[in-house]
Amino acid sequence: MRLLLVSRIDNPDAIAYSRKLKAVLEEDEVEVFYDDDTASILHEPGLPLSDTTADAVVVVGGDGTILRTIQQMQHPVPVIGINRGEVGFLADLDPAEAIDYVRTLPRGFSVEERMRITLFKEGTSLGTALNEALIVTTRPAKMLRFSILVDGITTEQFRADGLLISTPTGSTAYAMSAGGPIVDPRIQGFILVPLAPYLLSSRPHIISSTRRLEVRLESSKPANLVIDGQQTIELGTSVTLAVQPAHYPAKFVDVGRNFFEKVDNKLRKL
């Protein structure tokens, strides 16, 4: 088994835990390597995350660390998340149980795939999101105007502070905070959640990923596109974005946790 270990680098507890985990696994003769950023903090050799050939990537941190890790991989490798953040919806393991779990991880472990979305502008990819893409004004307290097109038909027009385009995985992130539904991650679909819409009739939508979805920004106010909270792109005032399922889904090691049980346990901690 060959594992790449990624740690949240601004958290001393996460760094200390990663060092301990590596030492324990190496006692079991497991090949363990740090990614370059983690290795730099620990002053040890590291390997690039972008083109890793590891069997799995073990991430010690919160959802932000997991999202950043997945963003950096050119080809998705199965991820095991160990929660050293806040709520940690993407991290299935708690620190107390994670060492024993990773030590006994079989070579033929099960993998759960999670849909991602890619956004295009005039045929050019702007980026890929596991949780969500956010269109938001660059000027606080200014509203944006949107049109939603499904299969070429305008189905919704509204003004709002912004728009979240979420995956089912991202339904428990920003979209949930903005009033969107909690969606089973096995569903293949796009979730649209207007942020503080001017009209109460502008409600969240769930749209099948088999449909052709376009989001048209038609505003006098400039806007940004923020992908998974990691990447910001200037959109200007007028643009049409095509939203499609990403060619490669994200991959997670299936640790056998029921999604809805996990949601119930996580939400009770908020």
Catalytically active residues, by annotation? 63
The SS3 of residue 159 is strand
- The letter for the amino acid at 92 is D
Q: How many whole angstroms separate alpha carbon 146 and alpha carbon 35?
A: 41
- H helices present in 83-239, as ranges: 95-103, 174-177
- The letter for the amino acid at 97 is E
Q: How many whole angstroms separate alpha carbon 242 and alpha carbon 118?
A: 8
The tokens of 264 are what? 């119930």
Q: What are phi and psi of 220, to 5 degrees?
A: -85, -5
Q: How many whole angstroms separate alpha carbon 147 and alpha carbon 160?
A: 11
Q: 248: how many CB neighbours lie within 10 A of its CB?
A: 14
Q: What are phi and psi of 228, to 5 degrees?
A: 55, 25
Beta bridge partners of 241: 121, 215
Any residues with CB less than 8 A from the CB of 189 and at least 6 apart, and which? Answer: 168, 183, 206, 207, 208, 209
4, 98, 105, 178 from 66: Cα distances, Å? 13, 16, 19, 22
**Orientation angle between helical segments 95-103 and 12-27, nearest 10 degrees:** 30
